[in-house]
Every structure is written in C-alpha cells, then in structure tokens.
C-alpha cells in the first residue's frame, strides 16, 4: 500500500515524486509550465519558518511555492 503525502508536509532534503495536483485548471497550467507533472521527481531545498514558502528543485529549475499551494499537491516519498 502506498501512502501519499502533501508536499507542504515535507522537510528540507526530502525527495518525492508528484502524484496529483488538486488545483483549478488555470493554476494547474501554471504548475505544468514550472515542471510540476505527475511522475516528476522533486527535491525540497529549503522550508521557510513560520509557514513560509518551500524552495523546490525540479530538474534544473528552482521554484518557490507558497505552503498553501503546496498543500494541494500530493507526492509519494
């Protein structure tokens, strides 16, 4: 059995694979343009304190993502 996690719950240094995006179509289009696609591996570089944004690396691209947006992305560790 596989357990999916919310991207917002990961800590710095963890690697995960994107499984699902639970966002509206406009934001999904933007996430796809940034590299968030099902099956894509990402690395959490930094997690800002006080519910701040996450710095993520997808391939060669670094992305800053608000924690509330990261909560809508399911990943597999």
pLDDT tens track for 25-45: 999 999 999 999 999 999 999
Q: What are phi and psi of 12, to 5 degrees?
A: -60, 135
* Closest by Cα among 3, 5, 4, 6 to 68: 6
Our count of domains for the chain comes to 1
pLDDT of residue 2: 82
> In the chain, which stretches have pLDDT less than 70?
1
pTM of the model: 0.91
Q: What are phi and psi of 51, to 5 degrees?
A: 65, 30
Q: How many CB atoms lie within 10 A of CB 10?
A: 20
Looking up residue 45, the CATH number of its domain turns out to be 2.30.30.90
């Amino acid at each position: 059995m596989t357990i999916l996690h919310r991207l917002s719950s990961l800590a710095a240094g963890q690697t995960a694979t994107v499984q699902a995006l639970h966002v509206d179509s406009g934001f999904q289009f933007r996430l796809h343009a940034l590299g968030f696609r099902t099956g894509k591996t990402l690395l959490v570089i930094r997690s800002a304190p006080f519910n701040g944004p996450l710095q993520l690396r997808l391939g060669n691209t670094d992305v800053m993502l608000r924690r509330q947006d990261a909560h809508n992305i399911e990943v597999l560790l």
